[in-house]
A and B are shown apart, each in its own frame.
Chain A
Amino acid sequence: MMARRAGAFRTALFYVTISLIALFMILPFLWMISTSLKESEAVMVLPVRWIPERISLKAYRDLFTISTVVPFHRATLNSLVVSVLTTLVNLASASMAAFALAKFDFRARDRVLFAFLATMMVPGAVTMIPNYLVLRTLRLTNTFTGLVLPSIYNAWALFLLRQNIMALPEPYFEAAIIDGATPFAVYRHVVLPLVKPILASLGVLTFMGTWNDYLWPLIMISDPEKMTLTLALGNLNSRWGQKWELLMAGNLISMLPIIVTYIFAQKYFESGISVGGLKS
């Protein structure tokens, strides 16, 4: 009896502790939501009211209508297009090269692999300036093409995929070749279906990374019509730095799609993190 009571007490203590920590983690978000629903006169008022006296959606309306603000529906669409394209380009290019480097023997292979490996050490800061210059010469600044194009080379995704393709059982390939499959058919109908889980994890990770990226779009895009959500938010921050209800409403809008994606693909996020941990 005593023991059971002690056990119940410990369980309760555990839940209280973990709930307090969780509360601490999400308090900033609650604060964000609370602020975004206030009228601007009610934002800087003490004592704080967590539930606004009058709930106002004006900040959300303003994000889509004020002319000096980058229109948020536009920015959301831009972010979506850029993130999806980057993910597809990255996965397609890396998986093709990974297949060639995993399943074909050729003389230069080891040298090619070594060259890729060597560039993985170089931080993005080094290539960022010349990449911008090349894309400027190609007149691709202020375009989605320019924003997405550098992702055709991703050594990290390539090595991860190559490792997975090499681990695939050989009989699958032999069977396909006996059936007279072309290399592209092998890639399309044998390799891709078999590495789907790792593609999903990589895809989710790339999508999230691109959605949240700030520095590269900041360098490449200055046209308000082409801005992604992070740029729109940065822009809002420098123009309306004290309009907290507006900033917080924009924040919430920028977060929603990624949270929805997370809820539907939690499994891939977690496996993505465990492989992504090796990357960063």
Chain B
Amino acid sequence: MYIGRGRKRRATIAAFLAPTVVGFLLFSLIPIARSLYLSFTSWDILQPAEWVGLENYKVLLGSEEFWRVMRNTGEYIVLYVPLMLVSSLALAALLNRKFAGVDVYKVLFFLPVLTSWVAGSLIWRWILNHKYGLVNILLGHIGVAGPAWLDDKYWAMPGIVLASVWKDAGFFALIFLGALKGINHEYYEAAQIDGASPWNKFRHITLPLVSPTTFFVTITSIINSFQVFAQVQIMTYGGPAGATQVIMERIYKYAFQFFKMGYASALSWVLFVIILIITAIQWRLQKGWVFYDG
């Protein structure tokens, strides 16, 4: 575009870019550098920062806590991702029809997405109450004695997963719905003529054609799983006995409760590296795994 010339033109460009560039320097570039530097120091706010080299990373990777946190996150992913994929795809399949009241159902499925993580977690802390919670009351009706959920170190993480699936299913359902709407109807009509059952149509047409979305949702939800925070903070505070400690919760507590800024920064860089690795795997797999409709 040809507006102004020379100095005036440069001033114009600078003016439009100024807020973003200031923000970029102050809240992105400099912080990234500073965080990397801090991760090599022993800074705890009280004592001046002292360069300790790789000490924080050594302590971190050698600690039992870090590997417990990784196991906890692994458990979350293994339970959450399949449950969330199945339920969000099912919701999307139900909403991908024309029927009276479809918008009402959409709103109902979407309510948990609108709810904040704090509010959703509070509801589920109550719902998973050992004695008076809705889940165990309902289980009692079918003769099952429900576990103590959030107070039990084996059931706390599954409890958090239940809450998370409930909260996120509607969001990913809308993403799947977009993909389903994009499928060419002729495929289904051809299958209809061949007498395919609804299950076979789903299995051999829908599933392969939404596979790019499934792939994207899987990767996204794994990356998100490494950044779970509010659920844990509100529902279990990392307990019982550390059974639900996760990376973000550790970073928050090390930085803002124990003021170990150096150690917390090192943890945040480990998280960054994990996310980079997942993203790299995503780029590699994208080519082979996914079927694109030509």
Q: Which residues of A contact B (CB under 8 A)?
A: 11, 14-15, 17-18, 21-22, 25-29, 31-32, 35, 43-46, 48, 92-94, 96-97, 99-101, 103-104, 106, 112, 115-116, 119, 121-134, 149-155, 158, 173, 177, 182-183, 186-187, 208, 211-215, 218-219, 229-230, 233-234, 237, 244, 247-248, 250-251, 254-255, 258-259, 262-263, 266, 269-270, 273-274, 277, 280
Contact = CB atoms under 8 A, between A and B. Distances in A.
Given A17-B94, A262-B107, 5 more contacts: A18-B94, A112-B17, A150-B27, A215-B252, A230-B230
Contacts of B137: 46, 48
A160 to B, nearest CB: 14
Interface stretch (B50-58, B168-176, B185-193, B203-211): B168-176
Nearest to B276: A121
A153 B230 contact: no
Contacts of B122: 233, 237, 247-248, 250-251
Contacts, number: 262
A258 B118 contact: no
B108 A251 contact: no
Contact of A99 (B16, B134, B171, B224): B16
> A94, A106, A212: which has the most chain B beta carbons within 10 Å?
A212
Given A14-B99, A215-B248, A258-B114, A27 B227 contact: no
Interface in B194-209: none
A130 B31 contact: yes
Q: Describe B's contact surface by its main secondary structure.
A: helix
A25 B108 contact: yes
B244 to A, nearest CB: 16
B124 to A, nearest CB: 7
Contact of B166 (A25, A124, A234, A247): A25
Interface residues of B, number: 87
Nearest to B36: A126
Contact of A254 (B10, B99, B116, B268): B116
B238 interface: no
B97 to A, nearest CB: 8
Interface stretch (B1-9, B70-78, B282-290): B1-9
A248 B124 CA distance: 11
Contacts of A269: 110
29 contacts: A44-B132, A97-B21, A100-B12, A100-B17, A112-B21, A115-B29, A121-B275, A125-B247, A125-B271, A126-B31, A127-B31, A129-B38, A130-B31, A130-B32, A132-B256, A134-B30, A152-B19, A152-B22, A153-B28, A218-B252, A218-B256, A219-B256, A229-B116, A230-B116, A237-B122, A255-B116, A258-B114, A258-B116, A280-B224
